[in-house]
Amino acid sequence: MKPGYLLLRCMILCATFSAALHGAAQQNPAPQQQQTPPPAEPPQPMPGAEQSDQVLRLTTKEVLVPTLVEKHDGGVVYGLTAQDFVVEDNGVPQKVRVQEEMDTAPVALVVAIEQGGMSVLEFDKFMKLAPLLDTFLTDEKSQAALVGFDSEPHLIKDFTHSGEELNNGITHMEPGDGGDSIMDTISYAVDLLGTQPREYRRVLLLISEARDHGSKHTKTEALIRKIGQSDVLVLTVSFSPGRAEFLHDAQDSGEVRTMNMVSGLVMLAQAMRKNVTKEIASMSGGEYTTFTGDKKFEQRVLDAAKHTRNRYLLTFSPSNPTPGLHTLKVRLAQNYGARIVARADYWVGDEAPAGGAQ
Q: What is the mean pLDDT of residues 170-177?
A: 92
Q: What is the mean pLDDT of residues 313-341?
A: 92
Domain boundaries in the chain?
A: 56-348
**pLDDT at residue 337, as a whole number:** 82
**pLDDT at residue 351, as a whole number:** 55
Q: Is 111 in contact with 145 (CB distance < 8 Å)?
A: yes
**pLDDT at residue 244, as a whole number:** 37
**pLDDT at residue 6, as a whole number:** 41
**pLDDT at residue 154, as a whole number:** 95
Does the structure show a pLDDT above 80 at 5?
Answer: no
Q: Which of 100-104, 243-247, 265-269, 346-350 has the lowest mean pLDDT?
A: 243-247
Is residue 104 very low, low, confident or very high in pLDDT (cuts 50, 70, 90)? confident
Q: Is 232 in contact with 189 (CB distance < 8 Å)?
A: yes
- Residues linked to residue 65 through DSSP beta bridges, in sequence order: 314
Of 52 and 314, the one with more pLDDT: 314
Does the structure show a pLDDT above 50 at 75?
Answer: yes
How does the average pLDDT of the chain come out, rounded? 79
Is residue 239 very low, low, confident or very high in pLDDT (cuts 50, 70, 90)? confident
Does the structure show a pLDDT above 80 at 205?
Answer: yes
Percent of the chain exceeding pLDDT 70 equals: 73
Does the structure show a pLDDT above 90 at 249?
Answer: no
Does the structure show a pLDDT above 60 at 125?
Answer: yes
Rounded to 10 degrees, what is the CA torsion of 215, 63, 202, 278?
40
Half-sphere exposure of 185 (CA within 13 A, CB side): 38
Is residue 21 very low, low, confident or very high in pLDDT (cuts 50, 70, 90)? very low
Is residue 117 very low, low, confident or very high in pLDDT (cuts 50, 70, 90)? confident
Collapsed DSSP state (helix, strand, coil) of residue 74 = coil
Q: Is 209 in contact with 245 (CB distance < 8 Å)?
A: no
Q: Is 192 in contact with 206 (CB distance < 8 Å)?
A: no
Q: Is 276 in contact with 211 (CB distance < 8 Å)?
A: yes
Of 181 and 310, the one with more pLDDT: 181
Does the structure show a pLDDT above 50 at 1?
Answer: no
- Give CA–CA dist 179/292, Å, rounded: 21
Q: What is the mean pLDDT of residues 22-41?
A: 42
Angle, helices 276-284 vs 261-274, to 10°: value is 130
- Give CA–CA dist 42/252, Å, rounded: 33
- Identify which of 206, 202, 108 has the alpha carbon closest to the alpha carbon of residue 153: 206
Domain 56-348's class?
alpha beta
**pLDDT at residue 354, as a whole number:** 44
Of 117 and 159, the one with more pLDDT: 159
SS3 letters for 197-266?
Answer: CCCCEEEEEEEECCCCECCCCCCHHHHHHHHHCCCCEEEEEEECCCHHHHHHHHCCCCHHHCCCHHHHHH
DSSP string, 78-141: ----GGGEEEEETTEE--EEE-GGGTT--EEEEEEEE-STTGGGGHHHHTT-HHHHTTT--STT
**pLDDT at residue 169, as a whole number:** 95
Q: Is 330 in contact with 81 (CB distance < 8 Å)?
A: no
DSSP string, 299-332: HHHHHHHHHHHT-EEEEE--SS--SEEEEEEEEE
Of 90 and 32, the one with more pLDDT: 90
Q: pLDDT of 37-63, one tens digit each? A: 334 334 444 444 444 333 334 445 789
Angle, helices 276-284 vs 182-193, to 10°: value is 30
